[in-house]
Amino acid sequence: MASNSQPTTTTGAGGRNGHGDKEEAEQTPPPPEEATTVGGGDGVQFVMPEDGYEWKKYGQKFIKNIQKNRSYFRCREQRCGAKKKVEWHPHDPSLNLRVVYDGAHQHGSPSAAGEEGGGGATANQYDLSTQYFGGGPRSH
DNA sequence: AGCCTTTGACCAGCG
DNA sequence: TCGCTGGTCAAAGGC
């Protein structure tokens, strides 16, 4: 499969949006990190960061504030109020892909079905305050 | 037949 | 008070 030429997906090399608005809650999902190649045949194609959960796209919009496209995903589970937002540049998606997680999953991942942790609330144990996807402002 | 994906329009909140 | 942006819902089409 020579589709994904850039395995660097969740690497938001964009850092912060230099806007100054309210920060979003970004969490780093479980280990199951796959990449689903999405695209047409030729043209711009990028890999969507898969966290092992199932998402349903319910909207997409172009955020002019950051000059990026934003896709809105929602967890397939009604029991789960987890939401996911994916931002990417219309020209360099694989170079500026950013994933923002909102809320936490109240169920185990379908990929790891059968091996639930029991608690279930062990999903949102990350710092949803300043957790960035690799592109943290804490350049140090 | 069922489910998912895509686009548009509408609504709410904030400046 | 008006305008703008972001976010969500709904409907239609395609697989």
CATH number of the domain to which A89 belongs: 2.20.25.80
Counting Cβ atoms within 10 Å, is residue A95 exposed (0-12), middle (13-18) or buried (19+)?
A: middle
Q: How far is the CA of A42 from the C1' of B3 (A)?
A: 26
Number of domains in chain A: 1
A58-67: burial string, b at 16+ Cβ within 10 Å, e else: eeeeeeeebe
Domain extent, residue A61, equals: 52-105+124-139
Measuring from the CA of residue A54 to each C1', which nucleotide is nearest? B4
Measuring from the CA of residue A21 to each C1', which nucleotide is nearest? B14
Partners of A75 in the beta sheet? A55
Task: Look up the pTM and report it.
Answer: 0.65
On strand B, nucleotides with any atom < 7 Å from a protein CB are: 4-9
pLDDT (tens digit per residue) in A14-72? 333 333 344 444 444 554 555 665 544 555 455 666 777 888 899 999 988 888 889 99
Q: How far apart are CA A135 and CA A113, in angstroms?
A: 31
Q: How far is the CA of A117 from the C1' of C9 (A)?
A: 34
Q: How far apart are CA A23 and CA A26, in angstroms?
A: 9
